[in-house]
Structure 1
Amino acid sequence: MHSHSRTGFSLIEVIICVGLVGIMLMPLASMMKASAHAWQDAEAEGGADARLRSSARWAHDTLLRCDGIVDTGKHWIEFQRSGATWRMEIIGGQLRMRAGTQDILIADQVTDLEVAVSRHSATNVILAVDFQLIGNAVGAAAAPQVNTTVTLDPLKQL
């Protein structure tokens, strides 16, 4: 009786397997490439929206952490933070936050900040700040807009 045990693959078997795996991976590679191009196109078109949403979240979180709202206008918000009075407003197409000599850029390419407040009817205390950031229009596309509401802690009111 002759027993033959196999110890490995022959070179031709390895070449065939590698070729088959390569053939199967080609469609996957082209799908990944198409997906990457689609993502880049979506980023190019929606990049302004994403930046505006990110800036609105940052402004929202900043107002949530503030010591209290001092005053608001139709296009600005004044609030207390770390003992200083800060003003958030549009200056030269940029959403900026300023206090004294400190000046922080929040968002670029913003055309407007629209502010509305909700006040307690008896005490006139500001309960919530609704604001809308409006970005620059690109080409024929409508200008991106982001709306957000900051509901304030009544114990932190000034």
Structure 2
Amino acid sequence: MSKKFTKIYQKHYDKVHRLCLGYVNGDQALAKDLAQDVFIKVWEHLDQFQQKSSIGTWIYRITVNTCLLFIRKDKKKKQLSFTEIQDEVQEETNDQNRVKQMYVCIHKLKQTERIIILLVLEGLPQKEIAEITGHSHENIRVRVHRIKEKLTKCVSNGI
């Protein structure tokens, strides 16, 4: 099982890490911790994977659940004010500025919207996103369009 797990880890770690980044507003260290938690769960439950979906879809579902659980717990802690985030963004270079701004805008989205757009940014097909989120493909198609409009407006207007 360890060789199988190693292959799964190597194939999916970068995608899981990037997805976690979206949930933690670009915090690299926290994203790495969450990705580690995801793969601990994958290791613990790999023998229970029923292959009703692809292994990637299963891992994304674990990632989304792990990140949402973290966010629920983290809401009890003090969050950065928009002023503090804005100050950090202004210190970055222009490219880093836009990336940071995009994460802030993604962070403002509703939970379901955030899940959908992060999976889109990972390059997942909309049909697979529908499977992961439990929505219809048509619903995902419409939501993606609306989410992109919101993000464009948010990034254009600044934080």
Greater CA radius of gyration, 1 or 2?
Answer: 1
If asked which structure has higher relative contact order (CA below 8 Å, sep 6+), I would say 2
Provide TM-score, normalisation by structure 1.
0.28
Whichever structure has more helix as a proportion of its residues is 2
Which of the pair is proportionally richer in strand? 1
